[in-house]
Structure 1
Amino acid sequence: MKKAIFAIAILISFISCDETKKVIDVAGSVQLSGTYTITKLDETTVGAKAGITMTFAAIDKSVRGNTGCNSFFGSYNNDLYALTFSEIAMTEKACPAGNIMQNEIKFANALNNTGSYNLQDNVLTLYSKTDRSVLLTAKKDTKEAQ
């Protein structure tokens, strides 16, 4: 009888841990929800005029935005502080050469290489999955929440 009670207690703790993790993951998605303007790609500062944005939607874990020339969309998965993007697709407009294309390439590489994130004081930072270097920094648009 004691073994059965012990087994049930262990089972309940595993189930409750799994439920706690689900709640934390949902909370992370909700916290991430919103539109961000990219302010930095790698070490390069990009201004708001560059028009590089991304919007997270917690309901379906989708991400979409603009690279400054092309639009993109896809999905994301977060698990505590881990963050990955998948099924990213991008339009293929002919963009002017120069910084716009360089920024677009850096942005696409950042999405492909993201492994974790931090969101503090409405500033989102994406980190590399290999060496935790900063891939991009973005400022959350707080006007839409009002």
Structure 2
Amino acid sequence: MDREARDLRADAQGRLRTLRDAGLRAALDANLRAQDLTLRATDLYRRHLLEQRSSLAAALERTRAAKGVADNTARTATLAFDVAGMMRDGDRDFGAVLSLRPPVVVPFEGEALRREFEGLSRRLGEGPTS
């Protein structure tokens, strides 16, 4: 738009140099005033857009920083939760190990085995039966 307004302004100025008709000159003068206003408006609007771009860039930077902090916070909370769980599990497992008692050792007397051995020995010693 800015370029078009400048082109129109140059065209109007060129025509003014050659025109002698007062009515046409008045129309071109009005066009030049409108084009000047358009150029001022486009300049103000351009500055406004640049300010908005700056504001957006700052907001984006703040958002990126906030995201980084939020990610760090989430990872910190997860790690703390995992460590707490690990400590709970470790205490439970350690308690289970400490509660283990070795079995009571009963001396092996082998009475049943001795009787079987004696019975077998008697049968073998008696010889085959018919």
Same fold (TM over 0.5): no
Q: Would you tell me which structure has more strand in proportion to its own residues?
A: 1
What's the TM-score once normalised by structure 1's chain length? Answer: 0.25
